[in-house]
Amino acid sequence: MAKPNILLIYTGGTIGMVKDFETNTLKAFNFDNLLVRIPEIKQLDCNISTHSFEEPIDSSNMNPKYWLQIAEVIEGNYATVDGFVVLHGSDTMSYTASALSFMLENLSKPVIFTGSQLPIGDLRTDAKENLITAIQIASLQESGAPQIKEVCLYFEYKLYRANRTTKINAEHFEAFASLNYPELAVSGVHLKVFSVNLLENNESGTFFVHKNMCPEIAVLKLYPGITEAVVKAVLNAPNIKGVVLETYGAGNAPTLKWFVDLLETALIKGIRVVNVTQCSGGSVIMGHYETSMHLQKIGLISGGDITFEAAITKMMYLLSKKLSKEDFKTQFEKSIKGELTASFL
Ligand code: ASP
């Protein structure tokens, strides 16, 4: 059997940096020299090629234009490559990976995001393990076809569904969590893939990239004491088409009249408002408490157990499709790429 072809896409972030010991600063290194830096890679049973962003970026500078750039590299190589590994800064990795999970339509190959907390040249680096295992996972084949057919995130011995992840720690090597969905694989002495957790690939169409994402959205995070002026300012921000409302607990919010009236006015104007909980685990269940009945009544969309990162990117994706109010709600409340648990709704 031919060895799988793996494409490493380097966008930036700590993983691809080395310390300049003279100046003590981190700088990006030329990824074409990867094999020189990590000779262990030669032992992997696959053919590796690399594509590097012309100017690698810290992931704080990520935006939808770069998401498209990554998606287009995948598109351009899709016919000849069996698996993709995207090296990305960990800070916004969950956003990019969630966005890509929506943008890559009819995906039937693995796209594995990874990065690291320490640079690849550092003695105690987590970069080598993350990179080597991510490549191994992208190479997994079953009956001559890729075993994993979705966008994933690999970090510190665990493979997650990308659109279920959140960065939870800026210090620990275990930087990510997927609180509402189990791991897809765990790397120990053996690499164990939990097949039942993998996304069922019911998409039989041809792969293509959804290229429009609508960035005209806003976030309204509730906190005790939030003022009418602040809510008004967010809901009336120029040109916004959608709002992610970050509520408390199981999707609860104040019952104050001015608050409900402002939300209702936004909905009447055609702004799509999604209710997402501030809790990292668990789900919005509108109507469970009296403090969410009013949100359900005025027609807020339930984000269920979706992460904030997936809610933002799903909203950008669905808004670009210019759906009717009803269709937008139906699409948001159902799982498109395994990003939420439909049984919660
Ligand atoms: N600031 C870096 C980034 O997100 C951190 C990292 O790579 O982990 O690009």
263-280 residue pLDDT tens: 999 999 999 999 999 998
Amino acid at 20: D
Of 209, 238, 265, the domain-final residue: 209
pLDDT at position 289: 79
Please identify every residue annotated as catalytic.
14
Please indicate, yes or no, whether residues 53 and 108 belong to a single structural domain of this protein.
Answer: yes
Residue 126, ligand 1, Cβ within 6 A:
no
CA of 22 to the centre of ligand 1 (A): 22
Phi, psi angles (nearest 5°) of residue 52: -115, 140
22 by Cβ neighbours in 10 Å (0-12 / 13-18 / 19+) ranks as exposed
Instruction: Tell me: do 125 and 223 sit in the same domain.
Output: no
Q: 185-187 and 191-193 as β-strands: parallel, antiparallel, unpaired?
A: antiparallel
Query: Within this chain, do residues 322 and 240 fall inside the same structural domain, yes or no?
Result: yes
Please identify, by atom number, the ligand 1 atom nearest to the C-alpha of residue 59: 9
Ligand 1 within 6 A of 91 CB?
Answer: yes
The number of the ligand 1 atom at minimal distance from the alpha carbon of 15 is 7
In short, whether 252's Cβ falls inside 6 Å of ligand 1 is no
| Residues 226, 196 within the same domain | no
What lies within 8 Å, CB to CB, of 252 at 6+ separation is 289, 291, 292
CATH number at residue 145: 3.40.50.1170
The two tokens of residue 187 are 């790397």
- Predicted confidence (pLDDT) per residue in 280-289, tens digit: 899 888 878 7
The pLDDT of residue 50: 92
AA identity, residue 268: I
Q: Which of 161, 189, 209 is the last residue of a domain?
A: 209
Residues 253, 165 share a domain: no
Task: State the alpha helices, DSSP H only, in the chain.
Answer: 34-37, 64-77, 93-103, 127-139, 228-235, 257-268, 290-297, 308-319, 325-333
Amino acid at 152: C
Which tokens is 139 given?
Answer: 């190479």
With a 6 A CB cut-off, is 14 part of the ligand 1 pocket?
yes
Signed CA dihedral, 251, 252, 253, 255: sign only? positive
Q: How remote is the CA of residue 8 from the centroid of ligand 1, in Å?
A: 17
Q: What is the length of the chain?
A: 345
Structural domain containing residue 51? 5-209
Query: What local confidence, expressed as pLDDT, does residue 203 receive?
Result: 61
> DSSP assignment, residue 203?
-
Q: Are 152 and 104 in contact (CB under 8 A)?
A: no
- CA–centroid distance, residue 101 to ligand 1 (Å): 20
Are 52 and 150 in a shared domain?
yes
**Structure tokens, 86:** 């995207």
- Other Cβ atoms less than 10 A from the Cβ of 186: the count is 14
Residue having the nearest C-alpha atom to atom 3 of ligand 1 = 89
Q: Any idea what the CATH number is for the domain that residue 221 is in?
A: 3.40.50.40
Residue 218 dihedral angles phi and psi, to the nearest 5°: -140, 160
Residue 102 sits in the same domain as residue 199: yes
Give yes or no: residues 193 and 314 share one domain.
Answer: no
Measured in angstroms, how far is the CA atom of residue 89 from the centroid of ligand 1? 4
168 with 225, same domain?
Answer: no
User: Separation of 229 CA from ligand 1 center, angstroms?
Assistant: 35
Q: pTM for the whole thing?
A: 0.95
Q: Which one of 60, 165, 166, 171 would you pick to mutate in the ligand 1 pocket, going by the greatest count of ligand atoms within 8 A of its CB?
A: 60
- Cβ neighbours of residue 73 closer than 8 Å, sequence gap 6 or more: 7, 9, 51
Query: Would you state the pLDDT for residue 36?
Result: 75
pLDDT tens for 169-206 read 988 989 999 999 999 999 999 999 999 999 987 667 99
The helix-helix angle for 228-235 and 257-268 (nearest 10°) equals 10
Tell me the torsion sign for CA atoms 10, 16, 20, 26: positive
Residue 256 — φ and ψ, nearest 5°?
Answer: -55, 140
The closest residue, in CA terms, to atom 8 on ligand 1 is: 90
Task: Provide the number of structural domains found in the chain.
Answer: 2
Max Cα-Cα span within the chain: 67
Site to substitute for ligand 1 among 11, 14, 130, 309, most atoms within 8 A of C-beta: 14
Tell whether 243 and 200 lie within a shared domain. Answer: no
Answer whether 117's CB lies under 8 Å from 131's CB.
no
Q: How far is CA 178 from CA 168, 248, 341, in A?
A: 10, 19, 13
pLDDT tens string for the chain (345 positions)? 789 999 999 999 988 887 777 888 777 777 777 777 788 888 999 999 999 998 888 899 999 999 999 999 999 999 999 999 999 999 999 999 999 999 999 999 999 999 998 988 788 989 999 999 999 999 999 998 999 999 999 999 999 999 999 999 988 989 999 999 999 999 999 999 999 999 987 667 999 999 999 999 999 999 999 999 999 999 999 999 999 999 999 999 999 999 999 999 999 999 999 999 999 899 888 878 778 888 888 889 999 999 999 999 999 999 999 999 999 999 999 999 999 997 655
Q: In this structure, are 117 and 222 located in the same domain?
A: no
- Does residue 230 sit in the same domain as residue 200? no
| Domain endpoint, select from 141, 176, 209 | 209
Q: Using a 6 Å cutoff on CB, does residue 58 contact ligand 1? A: yes
Q: Which atom of ligand 1 is nearest to the CA of 14?
A: 7
Choose the residue to mutate in 17, 62, 91 for probing ligand 1, maximizing ligand atoms within 8 Å of C-beta.
Answer: 91
Q: Are strands 104-105 and 208-209 parallel, antiparallel or unpaired?
A: antiparallel
Task: Please calculate the CA angle 184-187-193 and round it to the nearest 5 degrees.
Answer: 35
